[in-house]
Structure 1
Amino acid sequence: MAERDDPGTIGRRVQRLRVERGLTQRQVAEPAYTPAYISTLEAGRVRPSDDALRHLAERLGVGFEELATGRPARLATDLRLRLTEAQRTLATGEAEAAAEQYAALLAEAREHQLVEAEADALLGLGECGIDTGELTAARRCFEQAEQVLTAADAPLPARVPALRGRAVSHYLAGELRYAVYLLESTLDELNRGGLHDPDALLLLYASVIGPYMDMGAQARAAQAAEYALALAPQAGDPALVARMHRSVARTLLAEGRIAEADVSLAKAAELYRQLQIRTELANCHWMRGYVHAQNGDLESAEVELREARAMLTAQRAALYTSQVVVELADVLHRRGKSDEAAALLHEVLSDLSPERGALHSAAAHRLLGIIAEDARDTETAEEHYVRALSLLERAGAAGDLADLCRLLGDLLRRTGRVEAALDAYRTGLGHRTAPGTTTLGPAPAQPPL
């Protein structure tokens, strides 16, 4: 709850409520206080204690918070109920509709200075921006949420969703190293500080998998995936249970049982968070698919990657889905299903742009180039490699750039353009040996599992 109003405002509120109810100062004061005290309080010359406010609230027939802050007793709980409605809308993939709900809730929370609801609304708007690809707007929302929570002295686990949101927005914009820095430094602070909040750790470990993979840090990605799966909460059907808690909360609220309604709403909100974490856990299936592919078990890899794609498609998480589709297309190509792989890649490219998913676009062009080379269509292959090179240079993905320069160099050499091939190889060597571009610092501290 925000700080109570100043004594003058509270005094005027007590007087207004007393007059509206036709009560005298003596009737409001007795038996614990004197009429003179009520007179002094109404004049704003004394700051009432919590006990005095509770006594007056009972006499005047209002809630303690309404008397202390002017907010109706049910306002905060009603806002929480509507926030869980917006969470449900987002969890079912309707990001634009959810954004409208969150924007209205944000305005209301700010009007009534409800800090926790304000932060939740900002986080929701940020998640909507991630889902729709509005990365700059999403990042601003996450930054504002973090500022609101920091000003309210919220503990680190409570700030993790905002920090993670910032990191994901940087990652999807192609800023890999900064995304990893944000996630790893937060993991370290949690683990080394003994703040072993399972939900916070799960969110961070699941979110760091993608950046690790794109940076070529497969060992760390695999370790993060195992930690995330070990931390994953066990819930049979979070959506069903969350709906039940929301219904219970409405009933309790109608009966005036606000504290009990709050408990049900907290449970519903946590379950909707778990639904959003399902999107993150899809990355773990993707990681398993990648490991199977590296080990040559392409059949198992295809199963895992199709599962990841299905989970992400159900959540309508377009950018994440694109990432998994590229991996799936690679496996399909290696299994001799090149036509299906190419169709998937062209579908991915139709949904992306250089500003939105540059790394995924580059990966799709790279693989299309390989498929074209295998089909002996060198002209198309070169076109895809050059497009991928441009996208990777913009994103600064050094390891991928070096690999792509090798592919392009080999193609140019085979078609008799030796000098152009040498230039491509030199460019690749420059990226491979650039200091600090392909290395990471020490791994984060291990959580207690």
Structure 2
Amino acid sequence: MTMSASTLGQRVRALRRERGLSQADLAGGTVSASYVSLIESGRRTPEPPVVELLAERLGTTVEYLLTGRDRTELDERLLKLRFAELALANGAATEARDRLLDLTREGDHELIWDTLWALTRAHEALGETDRALDGLERLIAAARRGETLPVGLLPLLMMRCRLLSEAGDFGRSIELGEQALTEVRRLGLEGTDDEIRLASTLVAAYWGRGDLATAQRLAARVIERAEHNGSRWARGSAYWNAALVTEARGDFGLALELVDKALALMAEDDSERSLARLRLTYGWLLLRADPPEPGRAAPLLAQAHEVFLRTSDSGDLASCETELARLELLSGRPADAIAMALRAMGRLEGRTAVEAGRARWVLGLAMVADGRNAAGVEECWTAAEELQSLGARLEAAQAWRELAELHARHGDPAQALESYRRMADCADVRPPTPLPATRPNHPVATTG
């Protein structure tokens, strides 16, 4: 029962009096009047058959006696939830969030976890990462208490790891991701789809932090398990994140081969949004190939962008528009690149996210290409600082390296040197220890 007996008893008493019945009338010979009195006073919890009998004689429903709400009211709230979920699925995240917040204010205990899960996804879609993470923590705690949730514990742990990485908190993402993997293995779930997906997400976190050696080792283990045990989705996810690591190590050929495998595996099984994310990754890799392949990247990014406009959140859209800006830049259209990069940054306004630094970086490069050297270099400098402050060490190091070249080309050796120093900081290279003062050299006396 979802309510205390005293609350149930109060409802029984109120309905009995409303209908002009005595306790003996309500008992009707099936139970005693004194038993009805004990129920109404909260000193006795009735058995389910007695609740059904009382509901029938009082002309109400069992649901009302137990919860204070009848089936119609419950159905109305469930319908509100379904409409909110439908809005979320169709990209109307603001509408979905507002509907769900209204539902939470109604305090429906039966729908609390379904509502919170949908609300968490709406917050994610709107870029409200802190609120999404708060919702995830509540859901994870509920799952560990044994509550019945619309989603399992492992997908929740995976989502938390991913959101922390997207916010630039790679250290926390890795810490919690490793804890989750340990828990998975303790439960004997190693090799399951959920474990493979969680490990794949952790690979991306190590990649984001610039720890390529660990990322590659973990990616190799994940792919091996996925090949033996995983579904097409799990294998595709493993190949997907392994491609990021391989690209960062400079092997573009293998990276493209891995992402081709991921596309083939996930095209049949995965959701439209996840497939669009994979196309975005493929386009991202093609634009970083040597030489870049904007012609091949263009249709992939256009397909992904069309899906994200309909179904996805501001983060996915911003990521895609950053790469579309890069595409315009590589295609010799810096003005269009500037407009697209500004659009991406606008979607991320007010958010602390690695993607904001990436978008600003492309904006700066496009401004330099458009002849606005000083302003462009300033944007690039700010972007490199943002990436470094968020812990994206590999990307920050690459940015500082390119900035050093920009400063050198434009005759600013002091700033070029500072950029190289910043690049070394990203690699945790310690500054040199000052040497002790040495005696001046004196000429050696010779005898003739």
TM-score of the two chains, using structure 1 as the length reference:
0.70
The equivalent of 1:80 in structure 2 is 78
Gap runs ≥5 in structure 1: 233-275, 436-449
8 A contact 1:362–1:391 mirrored in 2: yes
The equivalent of 1:404 in structure 2 is 399
- Matches of 1:305 and 1:97 in 2, distance apart? 27
Which residue identity is paired with 1:38?
Answer: V
The equivalent of 2:38 in structure 1 is 40
- Matches of 1:177 and 1:356 in 2, distance apart? 19
Distance 1:414 1:383, change over 3 A: same
Q: Which of 108, 112, 115 does residue 121 from structure 1 map onto?
A: 115
Q: CA deviation at 1:321?
A: 0.9
Q: 1:284-320: CA deviations, max 9, x gaps?
A: 2212323444556543322222222211112352222
Q: Percent identity?
A: 26
- Matches of 1:422 and 1:278 in 2, distance apart? 46
8 A contact 2:114–2:150 mirrored in 1: no
Q: CA deviation at 1:106?
A: 0.3
- Matches of 2:209 and 2:126 in 1, distance apart? 24
- Tell me the secondary structure at the aligned position of residue 428 of structure 1: helix
- Matches of 1:350 and 1:157 in 2, distance apart? 32
The equivalent of 1:230 in structure 2 is 233
Residues 1:422 and 2:382 aligned together: no
Residues 1:315 and 2:311 aligned together: yes
Gap runs ≥5 in structure 2: 236-269, 431-448
The equivalent of 1:264 in structure 2 is none
- Matches of 1:364 and 1:205 in 2, distance apart? 28
Distance 1:228 1:320, change over 3 A: farther
Which residue identity is paired with 1:58?
Answer: E
Q: Which has the higher contact order (CA 8 A, sep 6+)?
A: 1
- Matches of 1:160 and 1:289 in 2, distance apart? 29
Which residue identity is paired with 2:88?
Answer: L
1:6-17 equivalences under 5 Å are: 6=5, 8-17=6-15
Supply the RMSD in Å over aligned alpha carbons. 4.1
Distance 1:424 1:295, change over 3 A: closer
Which residue identity is paired with 1:4?
Answer: M
Alignment length (residue pairs): 386
Residues 1:4 and 2:3 aligned together: yes
Distance 1:42 1:420, change over 3 A: closer
Residues 1:283 and 2:277 aligned together: yes
Residues 1:133 and 2:133 aligned together: no
The equivalent of 2:152 in structure 1 is 158
8 A contact 1:362–1:388 mirrored in 2: yes
8 A contact 2:193–2:231 mirrored in 1: no
- Matches of 2:205 and 2:324 in 1, distance apart? 18
- Matches of 2:234 and 2:41 in 1, distance apart? 56
- Tell me the secondary structure at the aligned position of residue 74 of structure 1: helix
The equivalent of 1:105 in structure 2 is 103
8 A contact 1:285–1:305 mirrored in 2: yes
Return the index of the structure with the highest Cα Rg. Answer: 2
8 A contact 2:365–2:377 mirrored in 1: no
Q: CA deviation at 1:406?
A: 0.9
TM-score of the two chains, using structure 2 as the length reference:
0.70
1:18-29 equivalences under 5 Å are: 18-29=16-27
- Tell me the secondary structure at the aligned position of residue 91 of structure 2: coil
8 A contact 2:16–2:26 mirrored in 1: yes
Once the two structures are overlaid, the 10-residue window that deviates more, 284-293 or 424-433, is 284-293
Q: CA deviation at 1:184?
A: 5.9
Residues 1:299 and 2:295 aligned together: yes
8 A contact 1:322–1:348 mirrored in 2: yes
8 A contact 2:127–2:313 mirrored in 1: no
The equivalent of 2:357 in structure 1 is 362
The equivalent of 2:57 in structure 1 is 59
Q: CA deviation at 1:82?
A: 0.9
- Tell me the secondary structure at the aligned position of residue 433 of structure 1: coil
